[in-house]
């Protein structure tokens, strides 16, 4: 089992539903996803029953499909496991949805709330600098 796969005891209904967004279910996977020296990564911290999270999910999917060639997209669902909840806490996420944008292994920006337009603006700025 690698860092991006789930333990078979975990619910798997939404795993890899879309190839453009990868579920992060372990601290190891989070570190691997955000530490890349050559990649822009966007992480969506969410909870499965959060109404704003549900509302913004299709917009995040569209963003991921639109920029899949330029960045990698991930999500951490705090309800998926105690370890996922720990990832939120370890990264200072106090409300969901929260989006973190990472570039070359460093946290560049954080957007709290369902403001996918702000996430896109940050991405476009990073793409322009590449």
- Catalytic site includes residue 28: no
- Catalytic site includes residue 50: yes
Q: Which of 22, 53, 56, 93 is catalytic?
A: 53
List all residues 6 or more positions away from 6 whose beta carbon is below 8 Å from its beta carbon.
Answer: 12, 15, 23, 25
**Whether 43 contacts 17, CB under 8 Å:** no
Q: Which of 24, 25, 40, 50 is catalytic?
A: 50
R_g of the chain, CA atoms, integer Å? 14
**Whether 126 contacts 108, CB under 8 Å:** yes
The residues that are catalytic are 50, 53
């Amino acid at each position: 089992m690698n860092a991006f796969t789930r333990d078979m005891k975990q619910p798997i209904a939404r795993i890899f539903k879309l190839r453009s967004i990868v579920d992060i279910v372990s601290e190891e996977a989070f570190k691997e996803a955000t530490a890349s020296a050559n990649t822009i990564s966007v992480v969506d911290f969410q909870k499965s029953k959060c109404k704003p999270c549900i509302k913004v999910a299709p917009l995040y999917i569209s963003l991921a499909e639109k920029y899949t060639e330029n960045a990698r997209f991930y999500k951490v669902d705090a309800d998926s496991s105690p370890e996922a909840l720990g990832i939120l806490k370890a990264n200072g996420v106090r409300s969901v949805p929260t989006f973190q944008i990472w570039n070359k292994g460093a946290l560049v920006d954080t957007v709290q709330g369902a403001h996918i337009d702000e996430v896109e603006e940050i991405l476009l700025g990073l793409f322009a600098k590449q």
